[in-house]
């Protein structure tokens, strides 16, 4: 995720901790452990790494302060606007979800 948003891993950790602390998301619903095998010095080493789902990535993307984060937010806004306009045009009404 750090590579995607062009920041260091510590920044991602900070944002995720805040997201979980504030109750925006729960770690148990957005993160799982994945066993990854890497070659180190000619031998295969297994490590367990945290993998995050799309909800966590989107939440971080809306908080992160980087050029890539800005581009992500612009892209997400365009996609949401297109979907909203399509929904309104096709349904000819606005459905409000419990907010």
Q: Structural domain boundaries of the chain?
A: 2-91
Place 98 in a pLDDT band, splitting at 50, 70 and 90: very low
Question: What angle do the packed helices 54-61 and 67-91 form, to 10 degrees?
Answer: 110
Q: What pLDDT, in 10s, does the model give residues 40-92?
A: 889 999 999 999 999 999 999 999 988 999 999 999 888 888 776 666 555 55
- Token pair recorded at residue 18: 């805040």
| Residue closest to 56 by CA, chosen among 3, 13, 6, 9 | 13
User: Would the pLDDT of 99 be above 50?
Assistant: no
Residues 43, 36: Cα–Cα separation, whole Å: 13
The model's pTM is 0.72
Give the DSSP H or E segment for 77: helix 67-91
């Amino acid at each position: 995720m750090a590579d995607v948003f062009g920041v260091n891993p510590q920044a991602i950790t900070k944002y995720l901790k805040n997201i979980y602390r504030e109750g925006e998301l729960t770690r148990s619903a957005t993160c799982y452990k994945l066993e990854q095998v890497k070659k180190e010095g000619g031998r295969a080493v297994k490590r367990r790494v945290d993998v995050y789902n799309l909800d966590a990535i989107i939440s971080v993307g809306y908080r992160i302060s980087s050029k890539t984060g800005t581009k992500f937010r612009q892209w997400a806004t365009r996609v949401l606007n297109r979907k909203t306009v399509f929904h309104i045009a096709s349904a000819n009404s606005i459905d409000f979800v419990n907010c």
